[in-house]
């Protein structure tokens, strides 16, 4: 199967390891990710809070570009995923607004006819490719690796998408099939603070701390996430959390495709695990044990 791939700005720089691991995993499962040519930033939450129509119009430019290929659009970043999906939904629900946006797109000789499906890699892996094929293609067993599955807010909300909004299970099912152990983790859809880390650091630190504390209390080996911003907040600010709350957390935070990649037999470098700030290279030994 072929999919159009929308990496997004974050996966281009700070989180290239997410992009690398997504591509590796998809190729291993005989799927092609073809990058959308000349994509632009989705606008994230920031643009929507300044100028609504512009936010939707630039987001719709990506959809218009993707429409030509008649493939589903895969966006691994939670923020990109939710913004692109929101744009799609709004344009479908508000015909007049759709017309306004198309008039804007016409300036660039583009038009969007609402035919693109926005997909998250987790959705594609579990619902298109399927757990059976993933199990077949796995080279190693996760050998009881204790995983806290952290979905974050944006891939399951606001509308019910491909998984439950309060108790999503797809990642749990995935890692159970690969031989991991899903620990009790009530914080799986709690907010990490997102962009508040730059604007209201104390608030975001508290939210991130609660998530890590829950993973530590329930004896997770690692937290696994689907979102670059969550990964950043939870990993890079553990120092600050430790200082503020007098803790000594050192919890590895990985992307779900990195753990999958280990089970598929890729090494740390190929999956970008060597780029993580908190040493997580030990997991590959555990998996190959």
Partner 1 sequence: MKIENIKVPGKLSKKEEDLRESFLRQLEVVPNSEKIKTCIQCGTCTGSCPVSYAMDISPRELIALFRAGDLETILNSKTIWVCASCYACQTRCPALIKITDIIYALKRLAMEKEIYPPNFPVHSLSESFVKIMNQFGRLHEARLLVYYFLKTNPAKLFSFMPLGLRMAKKKRIGYTASKIKDLENFKKIIKKAELSDMPREVIEKAYLEKTVGYSAVEKDTVLESKK
Query: Which one of 115-123, 132-140, 187-195, 261-269 is the stretch in contact with partner 1 (CB under 8 A)?
Result: 187-195
What are the φ and ψ backbone dihedral angles of 4, each rounded to 5 degrees?
Answer: -85, 135
Closest C-alpha among 175, 169, 154, 63 to residue 115: 63
- Residue 117 DSSP code: P
Which among 35-43, 141-149, 245-253, 259-267 is the span making contact with partner 1, rule CB under 8 A? 35-43
132 is a contact residue toward partner 1 (CB under 8 A):
no
CA distances from 162 to 71, 118, 128, 243, 276 (A): 18, 11, 12, 38, 29
Q: Which H or E run includes 160?
A: none
10 binds partner 1 (CB under 8 A): yes
Which three-class secondary structure state does DSSP give residue 120?
Answer: coil
d(CA 35, CA 223): 28
d(CA 207, CA 191): 7
Nearer to partner 1 by Cβ, of 217 and 239: the residue is: 239
Using CA atoms, how far apart are residues 125 and 233, in angstroms rounded to an integer?
A: 26
Site map 230..249 versus partner 1, x via CB under 8 A: ------x--x----------
Cβ pair 285, 159 in contact under 8 A: no
Rounded least distance, CB 134 to partner 1, Å: 28
Q: How many CA atoms lie within 13 A of 183 on its CB side?
A: 19
- If you ran DSSP here, which 8-state letter would residue 246 be given? T
Query: Judged by CB, which is closer to partner 1: 107, or 132?
Result: 107
User: Which of residues 17 and 284 has its CB atom nearest to partner 1 in the complex?
Assistant: 17
- Specify the residue for token string 């992009």: 19
- Part of the chain binding partner 1 (CB under 8 A), chosen from 118-126, 189-197, 247-255, 280-288: 189-197
Beta-sheet pairing, 73-74 with 118-119: parallel
Q: Is residue 151 part of the contact set for partner 1 (CB under 8 A)?
A: no
Shortest gap between Cβ of 235 and partner 1 (angstroms)?
Answer: 10
Q: Does 209 bind partner 1 (CB under 8 A)?
A: no
Q: Which helix (H) or strand (E) holds 149?
A: strand 146-150
Q: Which of 2, 12, 35, 167 binds partner 1 (CB under 8 A)?
A: 12
Nearest-approach distance from CB 240 to partner 1, in angstroms: 9
CB under 8 A: which stretch of 105-113, 218-226, 250-258, 262-270 binds partner 1? 105-113
Out of 34, 114, 203, 288, the residue judged to bind partner 1 by CB under 8 A:
203
186 binds partner 1 (CB under 8 A): no
CB closer to partner 1, 219 vs 282? 282
Q: Which of 47-55, 121-129, 243-251, 259-267 is the region at the interface with partner 1 (rule: CB under 8 A)?
A: 47-55
SS3 224: strand
State yes or no: residue 100 binds partner 1 (CB under 8 A): yes
Distance (Å, whole) CA 242 – CA 255 = 22
Which pair of tokens denotes residue 239?
Answer: 């120092």
- List residues binding partner 1 (CB under 8 A): 9-10, 12-16, 38-41, 43-54, 56-58, 61, 89-90, 93-94, 97, 100-101, 103-105, 107-110, 153-154, 157-158, 165-166, 189-191, 193-196, 198-200, 202-204, 207, 236, 239, 274-277
């Amino acid at each position: 199967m072929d999919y159009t791939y929308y990496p997004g700005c974050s996966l281009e720089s700070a989180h290239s390891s997410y992009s690398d691991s997504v591509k590796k995993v998809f190729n291993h499962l005989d799927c092609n990710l073809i990058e959308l040519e000349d994509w632009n930033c989705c606008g994230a939450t920031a643009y929507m809070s300044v100028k609504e129509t512009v936010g939707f119009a630039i987001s719709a430019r990506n959809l218009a570009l993707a429409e030509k290929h008649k493939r589903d659009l895969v966006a691994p970043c939670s923020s990109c995923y939710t913004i692109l999906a929101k744009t799609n939904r709004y344009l479908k629900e508000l015909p007049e607004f759709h017309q306004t946006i198309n008039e804007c797109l016409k300036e660039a000789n583009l038009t969007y006819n609402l035919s693109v499906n926005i997909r998250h890699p987790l959705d594609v892996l579990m619902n298109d490719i399927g757990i059976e094929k993933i199990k077949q293609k796995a080279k190693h067993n996760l050998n009881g690796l204790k995983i806290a599955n952290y979905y974050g807010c944006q891939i399951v909300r606001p509308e019910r998408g491909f998984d439950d909004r309060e108790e999503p299970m797809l990642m749990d099912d995935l890692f159970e099939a690969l031989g991991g152990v899903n620990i009790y983790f009530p914080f799986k859809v709690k907010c990490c603070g997102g962009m508040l880390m730059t604007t209201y650091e104390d608030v975001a630190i508290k939210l991130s701390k609660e998530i890590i504390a829950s993973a530590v209390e329930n004896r997770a080996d690692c937290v696994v996430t689907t979102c670059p911003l969550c990964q950043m907040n939870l990993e890079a600010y553990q120092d600050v959390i430790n200082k503020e709350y007098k803790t000594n957390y050192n919890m590895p935070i990985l992307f779900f495709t990195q753990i999958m990649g280990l089970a598929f037999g890729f090494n740390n470098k190929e999956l970008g695990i060597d780029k993580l700030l908190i040493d997580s290279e030990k997991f590959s030994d555990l998996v190959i044990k």
